[in-house]
Amino acid sequence: MESVERAIQLMKEHGYKNTPKRQAMLEVIAKSERFVSAKDVQDALKDTYKGLSYDTVYRNLYTFVEQGILEMSQRDGEKVFVMHCLDHVHHHHFICKNCQKITEIEVCPMDVFEKQLPGYIFLGHHFEIVGLCPNCLDKKEDIEKYMPKQANGCHCGNH
């Protein structure tokens, strides 16, 4: 896995050792290709590393974020992590609420904000779109789960 090898290289550049546990955490996240929680990582490694605590996993994942190895976001009040796109130009993500698939968006909306806020200095930004991907849109029951019902029970949003 090239992304794990690059992550290990970055970790070493920041003065951290590559331990088997850290490498296993990175491999779990790289294989998932979706945002995962510290609990997801802990669960994936519980048979290999008995006694691996949630705190240890979370602390390492957060350290990986600080090193630019992982990206962190929030889903339903929980911090979630994904491999930082090391080989790509600046981009953002569309995240499917149903299947958690991540699709890269090559457009950045910051030009609009810079025009609307003259005189401000932007130090950084994080932008995601959450919705349903085409595969999940084919499943009517999945759509209804996420669309707010109107007073008349309709999901269409035209009322």
Is this structure's pTM higher than 0.85?
no
Contacts of 142 (CB under 8 A, 6+ apart): 98, 132, 136
Asked whether the beta carbons of 92 and 112 are under 8 A apart, the reply is no
Asked whether the beta carbons of 60 and 22 are under 8 A apart, the reply is yes
Asked whether the beta carbons of 1 and 27 are under 8 A apart, the reply is yes
Per-residue pLDDT of the chain (159 residues; tens, 9 = 90+): 578 999 999 999 999 999 999 999 999 999 987 899 999 999 999 999 999 999 999 999 999 999 989 989 888 889 999 888 765 677 788 888 888 888 888 888 888 888 999 999 988 887 888 888 898 888 766 667 777 665 555 545 454
Per domain, the residue ranges of the chain are: 2-83, 92-146
Beta strand 92-96 pairing with 128-131: parallel
Class of the domain covering 92-146: alpha beta
- Token pair, residue 111, equals 């030009």
Domain 2-83 in CATH 1.10.10.10: yes
Q: What is the pLDDT of residue 159?
A: 44
- For the CA atoms of 31, 50, 68, 70, the dihedral, rounded to the nearest 10 degrees, stands at 40
Q: What is the pLDDT of residue 142?
A: 61
Q: What is the pLDDT of residue 17?
A: 94
The arrangement of strands across the sheet holding 70-75 comes to 36-37, 78-83, 70-75
Q: What is the pLDDT of residue 91?
A: 77
Cα gap 29→31, rounded to integer Å: 5
